[in-house]
Each structure stands twice: as C-alpha cells, then as structure tokens.
Amino acid sequence: MKINAPEMVKILEVRVETPTVRTFVLDKKIRARPGQFAMLWIPDVDEKPFSFSKLNGDLEITVREVGPFTKRLFSLGRGDLVGIRGPYGNGYRIKGEKICIVAGGVGLAPLMPLIDEILREDRELTVIHGAVTEKELLWIDKLGSKKIHLLTATDDGTYGEKGSACDILENLIRKREFDQIYTCGPEPMMKRVADISLREEIPCQLSLERYMKCGVGICGQCCIDPSGLRVCRDGPVFTARELRGTEFGRYKRDASGSRCDL
Ligand SMILES: Cc1cc2nc3c(=O)[nH]c(=O)nc-3n(C[C@H](O)[C@H](O)[C@H](O)COP(=O)(O)OP(=O)(O)OC[C@H]3O[C@@H](n4cnc5c(N)ncnc54)[C@H](O)[C@@H]3O)c2cc1C
Ligand code: FES
C-alpha cells in the first residue's frame, strides 16, 4: 500500500454483523500489526480512520454506522471502489502469558487480529465482550469455538451478565491472575479498565480514538493534552501509564479543535 496517496481498491464482499455493524472485505493484502489503522476515502465524501479486523488474506474492516461517512460506506457493495492509505500507527505489542482482552461493541474489531496472534502463540486468553444488547454482540460463535475463556455482558441483560464488561473484569481480577490487559471500546469503558489495571498493577494497552485529518503526524489535530502525543503517529495504542494525568477519559476535540465531551 502506498504510504500517503490513497489507492483505490474493490470491495469484494460486505457482511452484515449486527443491525449497526458491517464488515467490508477489500481486494487488498497488507502487512500490518494488530491495532494499526488506515484512512478510508470515499471521493466527494470524506476520509476517515478505521482499524483492521482481519489481516491474514484479504483485508477486512468492520464498521459501525454512526454518521455521514459510515452511512455512505454502508450504501456501497460488492465491486464498488474505496480509497485506502496506510497502515498507520504503532499497533499492540504482544506481551504476557496470561492475557485478558476487554472489548466494548465494535471495539472488538481491532482486537480480532490480536486475538488470532495470541492464539497462534498458545498464550492463555480471556475475552470479555460487552455490548448494549444481545444483537450488538460480535462474533460470539467464532470466539466461543476457539481456545478462549469468553465472558459476555449486555447493558440490558439480554445475553450474558447484565452490566458492563468492566463489572466482569472487576470480579474476575479477584479470582484470576493476568499479566497483560488489552482494551478497545467506548472511552469511559477504557478509562475504567485503565484505572483497574493501574490499581492492580497489571500492564494495560488501549487503543485511543481522536479526530484525525492527516493520519501521519503532521497536522496536530489528534494531539493529547498535555503531553502532545499524536494518536495517529505515537498511538493509537498507548499504555494506561502513558495516559495517566492526560485528557484521556475527560474530553476530546472535535474537527475544529474545540474541546468536546467524550
Ligand atoms: C484509529 C482509529 C480507528 C478506528 N477504527 C474504527 C473501526 O475499526 N470501526 C469503526 O466503526 N470505527 C472506527 N473508528 C471511528 C471512525 O473513524 C468514526 O466512526 C468515523 O470517522 C465516523 O464518521 P462519520 O462521518 O460516519 O460520523 P460523524 O458523525 O462525522 O462522527 C461520529 C463520531 O465519529 C468520530 N469521528 C468522526 N470523524 C472522525 C475522524 N476524522 N477521526 C476520528 N474520529 C472521527 C467522532 O467521535 C464523532 O463524534 C476509528 C477511529 C480511529 C481514530
Ligand atoms: S491526524 Fe494529523 S497529526 Fe494526527
């Protein structure tokens, strides 16, 4: 893949995962690390960052429909073209033998290539997956059939524990030992996971989302207060320690650079 100019690639397949989430299989093979991302371009619409949900074979990107860009993406089908540039960012670093992954909603997507790699390396893996309701849980059958200790939570109690993935982590951590936690999902959820990991002194890596424009560390749009770390270049994966005392869990910035709520 070219580093800074988008390459137009064909959509090979679109899979409906949940009422709000679809996976786009692209006619593209890349070498990237779990947790890295690309800028996806729809001409005359916009260019937006998305992580990879599958890296082996044809590239896959799993998307939740939230606004104008994702709505237009959802209108595309097999044979349509999208622009892509990347891979960008640092990605997750695989560490530890007893690993716990905490994923909220579509936050499970960038963790899927990491899960594949952890399983290939025969490490012990617990996955806690939470969503608002049963229909929004992702890949339960796929994860359940692998060598994973899988725990689920839904806000409305329609599947698994009633409550959040963090509640499960709080209880589990009293019974099981982990030497690395990975998380991705809504920021308030990740903040709670980061706080638990700092309190329990378990290293934690999390994938942060900030508004991105260039995606390559030039424009300064995605910088975190007060460190100035660029999410697109120095992240998107940070350790809980790196984010202690920053804007993480408190506010973010919109496209104009103004502070806004998470
Ligand atoms: C590194 C990274 C990886 C991501 N991976 C995924 C993924 O795998 N799957 C997925 O569904 N979503 C992912 N996102 C979020 C995705 O970029 C936004 O959902 C998308 O940009 C929304 O655009 P929109 O026009 O549909 O919605 P809008 O209405 O424009 O925005 C909805 C929300 O999306 C976020 N957003 C909008 N534009 C940007 C932007 N340029 N950069 C960052 N965030 C933005 C903001 O929080 C905004 O409030 C990722 C974001 C980042 C930063
Ligand atoms: S998006 Fe431009 S510096 Fe990160």
Checking if the pLDDT of 1 tops 60, the result is no
**What's the average model confidence in pLDDT over 126-148?**
94
**Contact call for residues 130 and 165 (beta carbons, < 8 A):** yes
CA of 39 from ligand 1 middle (Å) equals 10
Name the closest ligand to CA 74: 1
Amino acid at site 237? V
| Beta-bridge partner residues of 13 | 25
Q: What is the pLDDT of residues 47-93, one digit of tens each?
A: 999 999 999 999 999 999 999 999 999 999 999 999 999 999 999 99
Rounded to the nearest 10 degrees, the angle between the axes of helix 187-200 and helix 165-175 is 10
pLDDT band at 4 (very low <50, low <70, confident <90, very high): confident
Q: Which atom of ligand 2 is nearest to the CA of 230?
A: 4
Checking if the pLDDT of 134 tops 90, the result is yes
- Percent of the chain beyond pLDDT 90? 95
Smallest CA separation from ligand 2 atom 3, residue: 217
Q: Which residue ranges form the domains of the chain, and what is each CATH number?
A: 7-88 (2.40.30.10), 92-207 (3.40.50.80), 208-262 (no CATH)
pTM: 0.96
Q: Which atom of ligand 2 is nearest to the CA of 232?
A: 4
Q: What is the pLDDT of residues 237-249, one digit of tens each?
A: 999 999 999 999 9
> Can you give the pLDDT at residue 3?
59
Q: Is the CB of 48 under 6 A from ligand 1?
A: yes
Q: Which two tokens stand for residue 121?
A: 């390396």
> Can you give the pLDDT at residue 2?
47
